[in-house]
Amino acid sequence: MSEPTESTDPVKLSRFTYRQLQGLRHGSTATPLRVIAHIDLDAFYAQCEMVRLGTPRETPLAVRQWDSLIAVNYAARPFGITRFINIAEARRLCPDLVLQHVATFREGEGGRWAYRDDSYKKINTDKVCLDPYRAQSRKILQTIKEALATWNDDDNGDNTQTPKQEVTVGLEKASIDEVFIDLSPLVYKALLQRYPELRAGTQDENRDAELPIPPTTALQWDRDCLIDLDKIETEEDDPDWDDVGMLIGSEIVRWVRKAVWEKLSYTCSAGLARNKMIAKLGSACNKPNLQTVVRNRAVQDFLGGYKFTQIRMLGGKLGDHITAAFGTEKVSELLNVSLEQLRTRLDEHTASWLYGIIRGDDRSEVNPRTQIKSMLSAKSFRPSISSIDQAEKWLRIFAADIYGRLVEEGVLENRRRPRVITLHHRGSQSRSRQIPIPGSNVINEDLLYDLANTLLRQVVADGQTWPCSNLSLSVSSFEDGVSNNKAIEGFLVRGDQAKALTRSSRPRDTDTAQGGHLPNDKRRKLDSDGARIDQFFANPVHSEDTETGEQGTSQQPEMDAEPNGIPRFTCLRCSKSMPEYEKEEHDDWHFAKDLAIQDREEAKVSQPTPPTKSSTRGATARGRGGRGGGGRSKTEKGQMRLAFQ
């Protein structure tokens, strides 16, 4: 950072007010000074394998699943290797490519996963296991938390003017390899430490007075990639506090990325911006191993180059609907559509949400409550299976798979436990059966297997069971146990010590829908971004946790009133209450949802996913070394996802 110098122009004031500065302190989503980071691991599964195998970084490596590639490291990408080519093609393009198959469970081998040399040809007996990647993901998250907790320790050290205070940092795990971090409170603290002149007005009555302008005329952006400013501004225009805040944020992110590299040998990329939507677009701009800053004054130009279908939440049905309704996919063209016009084709909430989002207005919170709501273990059969014996072997594997993940979720310590188990069966038609998991039993592999078997017998009793092309087992309706109902969701950062603490306790998942326990009531309101889009569809928006088969479901508050005397039904899977006559449709909906998840997994297994329209990244490359294309499925894994895409 440049040496602070006295302002030469005493009358010139900042565009920002003390109130907006204060907004940073508690992570207000309304302040234009917000600093949000999105961190995404580079070629994640590939890096996991490189770290595990000790592969040099310059060695081309890809992770395979049967005959498909599911991750390609950066050394392999210049050869033209992508997720969308098959193994033979990859070998042809790069004969030295290291191909590592994912770990698998194997029929008859005790339900333990392993890396096996012959897995790639054992699609009939093996089932993919992502546990190793989940474990790495957890370690990385922990390292990120610790790094955040120790950032700026030196500054805090002897500074007696600023009382040591705990700063709450919001951190949202958005998928297996990415997190959002609300850096605002840390930035606030650093701003007040570094620019004491800002302290004076924070206690004043007149919070709406403008701040003094920053004492610097040029900011040192180090190795950051900066998105160009909108044309009306130039780099010669003096920075304001939003730029200074971004600079501090980027210092924090560099520190975090360094820790992840030094402790765990993973590289990641990051985006910094005033909100999640822009930060996420930013992190993809300059991969690998770089961070990109989208300053406020760069936002409109930056977004203008995108297709709106590339924006979080617009990758699916909603995006398609809007494209059809307005005849364009481009943000720049949609900017010409007035709010009134949007309202003619979209409901009120969706219209105003969309109107804001393409103008860079995204007030969604960095939301730490992303607990797993269900777990699914599935297998497609080619050829189909046609006996109970065969099915039972798979139930063993599903039970082992789910049990392993439950252990990670703390079932052994009674932290959380699922209340419902469901078996899905696809034969000539699709069916699912579910039963409660008895609360009195200790959950172990055998219990899960026995329950699954009971469900299988029910399915078989219904007839038309064979041939069966797909089976899956899921557990859902998690509740917090009595022994410890705290979840690590937020954490406190102390200036003098790294400390990860639990922030709030949340009995049962329905709570999250009512918001009573949330530290910040605004969260409910802000989440309404999601709720609005929900209303666009008949069914709630779903957020997928991390990887295939784990899903989080927006919970609806239970209603027990029966005002019109119609019997009600409460779904065991999602706790939603409804008139009984809607039960069937609701069950179908869950079933179709599960199938959609399954289909995505199958798509990966059976054939390379074709690049979609959203894979052409428009402005992503923008001449800044971005890799542009790199087609991928419409929605990012782990992002909010609309049903059935």
Q: Exposed, middle or buried by CB within 10 Å (0-12, 13-18, 19+), for 14? A: buried
Binding of Ca ion at residue 329 (CB under 5 A)?
A: no
Residue 538 near residue 593, CB atoms below 8 Å: no
Residue 315 near residue 635, CB atoms below 8 Å: yes
Q: Shortest approach of ligand CTP to residue 392 CB, angstroms?
A: 28
Q: Which two tokens stand for residue 355?
A: 């109107």
Q: Shortest approach of ligand CTP to residue 37 CB, angstroms?
A: 15
405's contact among Ca ion, ligand CTP, none, with CB below 5 to 8 A by partner kind, is none
Q: Which stretch binds ligand CTP (CB under 6 A): 142-150, 235-243, 298-306, 633-641?
A: 633-641
Smaller CB separation from ligand CTP, 289 or 430: 289
Binding of Ca ion at residue 40 (CB under 5 A)?
A: yes
Q: Which stretch binds ligand CTP (CB under 6 A): 38-46, 118-126, 231-239, 342-350?
A: 38-46
Q: Shortest approach of ligand CTP to residue 600 CB, angstroms?
A: 7
Smaller CB separation from ligand CTP, 257 or 330: 257
Q: Which stretch binds ligand CTP (CB under 6 A): 43-51, 337-345, 455-463, 571-579?
A: 43-51
Out of 35, 37, 39, 43, point to the residue binding ligand CTP (CB under 6 A): 43
Q: How many residues bind ligand CTP (CB under 6 A)?
A: 17
Using alpha carbons, list the distances in angstroms from residue 431 to 383, 460, 580, 581: 19, 11, 19, 18
For 471, other C-beta atoms within 10 Å of its C-beta total 25
Binding of ligand CTP at residue 102 (CB under 6 A)?
A: no
Q: Which two tokens stand for residue 19?
A: 């109130």
Peptide bond into 288 cis (omega under 30): yes
Binding of Ca ion at residue 178 (CB under 5 A)?
A: yes
632's contact among Ca ion, ligand CTP, none, with CB below 5 to 8 A by partner kind, is ligand CTP
Q: Tell me how far apart the alpha carbons of residues 550 and 450 are, in angstroms, rounded to a whole number.
A: 22
Per-residue DSSP letters for 67-83? TEEEEE-TTTGGGT--T
Out of 287, 307, 573, 590, point to the residue binding ligand CTP (CB under 6 A): 287
Binding of ligand CTP at residue 70 (CB under 6 A)?
A: yes
Binding of ligand CTP at residue 44 (CB under 6 A)?
A: yes
459's contact among Ca ion, ligand CTP, none, with CB below 5 to 8 A by partner kind, is none
Q: Tell me how far apart the alpha carbons of residues 493 and 172 are, in angstroms, rounded to a whole number.
A: 16
For 248, other C-beta atoms within 10 Å of its C-beta total 24
287's contact among Ca ion, ligand CTP, none, with CB below 5 to 8 A by partner kind, is ligand CTP
Q: Which two tokens stand for residue 371?
A: 């607990």
DSSP tag of 377: E
By DSSP bridging, strand 36-41 and strand 268-273 are antiparallel
358's contact among ligand CTP, Ca ion, none, with CB below 5 to 8 A by partner kind, is none
Q: Shortest approach of Ca ion to residue 239 CB, angstroms?
A: 31
Q: Which stretch binds Ca ion (CB under 5 A): 39-47, 378-386, 425-433, 529-537?
A: 39-47
Q: Shortest approach of ligand CTP to residue 4 CB, angstroms?
A: 38
Q: Tell me how far apart the alpha carbons of residues 257 and 321 are, in angstroms, rounded to a whole number.
A: 38
Binding mask 229-268 for ligand CTP (x = CB under 6 A): ----------------------------------------
70's contact among Ca ion, ligand CTP, none, with CB below 5 to 8 A by partner kind, is ligand CTP
Binding of ligand CTP at residue 40 (CB under 6 A)?
A: yes
Smaller CB separation from Ca ion, 40 or 362: 40
* Strands annotated E in 190-312: 210-212, 225-226, 268-273, 291-293
Out of 33, 39, 71, 375, point to the residue binding ligand CTP (CB under 6 A): 71
Binding of ligand CTP at residue 224 (CB under 6 A)?
A: no
As a 3-state breakdown, the chain gives helix, strand, coil percent values, each rounded to 5, of: 35, 20, 45
617's contact among ligand CTP, Ca ion, none, with CB below 5 to 8 A by partner kind, is none
Q: Tell me how far apart the alpha carbons of residues 103 and 643 are, in angstroms, rounded to a whole number.
A: 29
Residue 42 near residue 268, CB atoms below 8 Å: yes
How many Cα atoms occupy the beta-carbon half-sphere of 219 within 13 Å?
A: 23
71's contact among ligand CTP, Ca ion, none, with CB below 5 to 8 A by partner kind, is ligand CTP
Q: How many residues bind Ca ion (CB under 5 A)?
A: 5
Smaller CB separation from ligand CTP, 312 or 637: 637
Smaller CB separation from ligand CTP, 434 or 633: 633
Out of 28, 34, 37, 44, point to the residue binding Ca ion (CB under 5 A): 44
Per-residue DSSP letters for 552-594? EEPPPPP----TT---EEE-TTT--EEEGGGHHHHHHHHHHHH
Closest of 594, 583, 524 to residue 557, by C-alpha: 524
Q: Tell me how far apart the alpha carbons of residues 44 and 131 are, in angstroms, rounded to a whole number.
A: 13
Q: Tell me how far apart the alpha carbons of residues 35 and 246 are, in angstroms, rounded to a whole number.
A: 6
For 356, other C-beta atoms within 10 Å of its C-beta total 15
Our CA angle for 184, 185, 187, nearest 5°, is 65
Binding of ligand CTP at residue 41 (CB under 6 A)?
A: yes
Q: Which two tokens stand for residue 471?
A: 């089976």
Out of 49, 126, 172, 177, point to the residue binding Ca ion (CB under 5 A): 177
Binding mask 145-184 for ligand CTP (x = CB under 6 A): -------------------------------xx-------
Binding of ligand CTP at residue 633 (CB under 6 A)?
A: yes
Instruction: Kindly provide the b/e burial profile for residues 189-226, where b requires at least 16 CB atoms within 10 angstroms of the residue's own CB.
Output: bbbbbebeebeebeeeeeeeeebbbbbbeebeeeebbb
Q: Shortest approach of Ca ion to residue 87 CB, angstroms?
A: 22
Our CA angle for 451, 456, 462, nearest 5°, is 135
Q: Shortest approach of ligand CTP to residue 128 CB, angstroms?
A: 9
Q: Which two tokens stand for residue 508?
A: 């049962």
Residue 293 near residue 243, CB atoms below 8 Å: no
Q: Which stretch binds ligand CTP (CB under 6 A): 36-44, 339-347, 515-523, 527-535?
A: 36-44
Smaller CB separation from ligand CTP, 113 or 353: 113
Q: Tell me how far apart the alpha carbons of residues 335 and 330 are, in angstroms, rounded to a whole number.
A: 9
DSSP tag of 620: G
For 375, other C-beta atoms within 10 Å of its C-beta total 24
Binding site for Ca ion (CB under 5 A): 40-41, 44, 177-178
Binding site for ligand CTP (CB under 6 A): 40-45, 70-71, 176-177, 287-288, 604, 632-633, 636-637
